[in-house]
Structure 1
């Protein structure tokens, strides 16, 4: 009876190919797969359909419909079910493994900055069917568990911590807005750099910064001797709330850029930049303050707005003077973040606009994790005695 049924199904499959040629391949594959799965269930149960045997294992229990997309097109399957024993066709299990591998590959392409349109074209070439942008986004979620584990991993002692914020376009409520991407990089006691964490929210106000810094502290960050960052909105209040005793070094590069806004005449800009540079590169804090005092006196009448700004802003760039002299050059600015920001920009430029903050966080985390691994395996950034 079983042989007769199998032979009949095989004959029908051949007839489909004869009548429809290549157009009938998907239906033919479905018919052969269904027959193979029935045979596999009979072997698992040690009994055919309606066969009475004392040594049978469980019972047949109907079928479950499933449509699979293959390189031949959509294939309609009837997956045999059982009662009293666990069973799943081995052929489909292999297919599921291939499907999971494909999804991981799609997620990796997404992380590498390949556009969803290109991903769809690649899968159509390789697999014979197209993957939609929504499916690519769903596939990328397969990485979430690994990325979340990295974002929440325990931390330790990091004497120097760099903080930065950048912006990415995210669609929310049908409107495209700029979302703040916060990044923390630490230099450990071994002198190596490591990306400590990242966070994406719709703004970089104090609440976002406070939550971000609190999460770093909760994960075990300690031993911080200096924070280095630009004057980001809300960061000062958040630092004072979470790490009140840790001094802050304001990025000297951005201070130089900000100073130019307050210079009243173009002819003065080069001299102002040179005078400020002499303050920042002074050998001691005492000498830096002396040069700053001369600078303020010289420009009090010629550029009052510049002096008003510099009296408060420039001293914020001198906290590095209290750190060991061999470390100062690398602690003056946040330029060490340039490589990471450039790589993030290269990847996010392909995406253009993210559908939500979660997808933005996923991509930024993957890039940060990749760069961090390189840093940890590379040369030391600083040398500690």
Structure 2
């Protein structure tokens, strides 16, 4: 700050050049600021004309940037505002009010809003849609709500989180509004939309992108059928289901399903057979594709792995005061997870070639789908008119 004042006045302390300049040093003012290493007492220099303002410690500032970054990091990790308040007091000796910490975390609200409304690309070959449950305070009660998440794959095979939306329940009507919002932000066409087996979901998607193929997640379908199977029979049932979703074509898949239905296990668990029969029209589209593209669209694991990480953070929080708070934390959590993984990879960047690397790859944002070139080639053969425009 003394150096800043020297730059402001134009001469060093004690320099005769300052005589008659019209402004000079005028002592200092004691000030205490909160930092990431605790409270620090400063002597903030002044000038006689009161025109000096430090960029390092602005007027009225009671916290330096490092402390605010720490608060946001703790919040993104799932700690509540009161937890953060206690943590700072016990580790740094810094006493901050509930309102102050709340204002710091609310400072990212505009950034979240800008991210949520940013323009999107006109074409995504594949989009994954899924939801996870969050607890939101509703008056005197805490209610379960669904946080809807969309992940898009661009032409380079890179995944992007397109947005997060919170609604009272995961329903086809709300998914229709999500698809409409994505279209309003620039998404004109989608080849394949991967989702779970929610009733009305395909109609909601086709209402926005009429030519989109809706693919029911095979993993969701397997889980749904396994709900009716006892633990002792699960391995045997899974072995009988495998020929269905690995079949060369729909006819072979029908034969495999009939074999399962006529078996002792199929007769023992007719509800498991029915779950496949009821979802058959939305399961079979991917059987028309080759192995490379099947690997991309047979499951929504790209979004499931993200949801798994987010659930760990949500579990720490318990519930949120409102929808905006839930979206804010989920967005911060995604950013924090990706930053943490990037730092781990940076530490291993200097290792000799061939050395074992333990750092995880990107979770979702910016990660590349394995085998994408082969999958894109298959898409170009199946949808030449729609995809060649963007190649």
TM-score, scaled relative to structure 1: 0.69
Is it true that 1:211 corresponds to 2:211 in the alignment?
no
Q: Which residue of 2 aligns with 1:221?
A: 187
Note the alpha carbon deviations across 1:24-45, whole angstroms, 9 max, x for none.
xxxxxxxxxxxxxxxxxxx9xx
Residues 117 and 133, structure 1, Cα contact 8 Å, conserved in 2: yes
1:291 matched to which residue of 2? 256
Q: Does the 8 Å contact 2:129/2:195 carry over to 1? A: yes
Distance, in Å, in 1 between the alignment partners of 2:272 and 2:368 is 41
Instruction: Tell me the secondary structure at the aligned position of residue 93 of structure 1.
Output: coil
1:190-339 correspondence runs (5 A): 190-232=156-198, 235-262=201-228, 269-296=234-261, 304-339=270-305
Partner of 1:32: none
Residues 124 and 301 of structure 1: CA distance in aligned 2, closer, same or farther (over 3 Å): closer
Shift of 1:121: 3.0
Task: Show the counterpart of 2:120.
Answer: 155
Q: Which one of the candidate residues 304, 308, 317 is aligned to 1:342?
A: 308
1-structure distance, mates of 2:99, 2:295 = 47
Contact 2:32 2:39 in 1 (8 A): no
CA displacement 1:140-187 (0-9 Å, x = unmatched): 111112222222222122111111111011112121011111111122
Structure 2 CA distance, aligned partners of 1:232 and 1:111?
30
Secondary structure of the equivalent of 1:158?
Answer: strand
- Give the match for residue 89 of structure 2: 124
Looking at structure 2, the residues matched to 345 and 302 of structure 1 have their Cα atoms a distance apart, in angstroms, of: 35
Structure 2, gaps ≥5 residues long: 1-8, 10-21, 24-30, 41-48, 340-361, 378-391
Identify the range of structure 1 (95-104 vs 159-168) with the bigger mean alpha-carbon deviation: 95-104
Matched-pair contact (CA < 8 Å) for 2:195–2:215: yes
Structure 1 residue 199 displacement after superposition: 0.9
Q: 1:323 to 1:88 in 2, by over 3 A?
A: farther
Number of positions where the alignment pairs a residue of Structure 1 with one of Structure 2? 322
2:112 aligned with 1:112? no
Distance 1:141 1:248, change over 3 A: same
Q: Single out whichever of 153-162 and 100-109 deviates more from structure 2.
A: 100-109
| Contact 1:108–1:140 (CA under 8 A) maintained in structure 2 | no
Q: Contact between 1:104 and 1:143, CA under 8 Å: does it hold in 2?
A: no
Q: Aligned equivalents of 2:142 and 2:226: distance in 1?
A: 32
Matched, 1:188 2:147: no
C-alpha displacement of 1:324 = 3.9
C-alpha offsets along residues 338-361 of structure 1, whole Å, 9 cap, x if unaligned? 331122122222211112111111
1:279-322 CA-to-partner distances (Å, cap 9, x unmatched) read: 10112333223323444455786655444443222442222123
2:207 alignment partner, SS class = helix
Alignment check: 8 A CA contact 1:195 1:372 kept:
no
Does the 8 Å CA contact 1:179/1:200 hold for their aligned counterparts? yes
Deviation, 1:333, is: 1.3
1: CA distance, partners of 2:272 / 2:87: 56
Please say if residues 210 and 242 of structure 1, whose CA atoms lie closer than 8 Å, have aligned partners that are also in contact: yes
Q: Distance in 1 between matches of 2:168 and 2:242?
A: 36
Contact 1:162 1:184 in 2 (8 A): yes
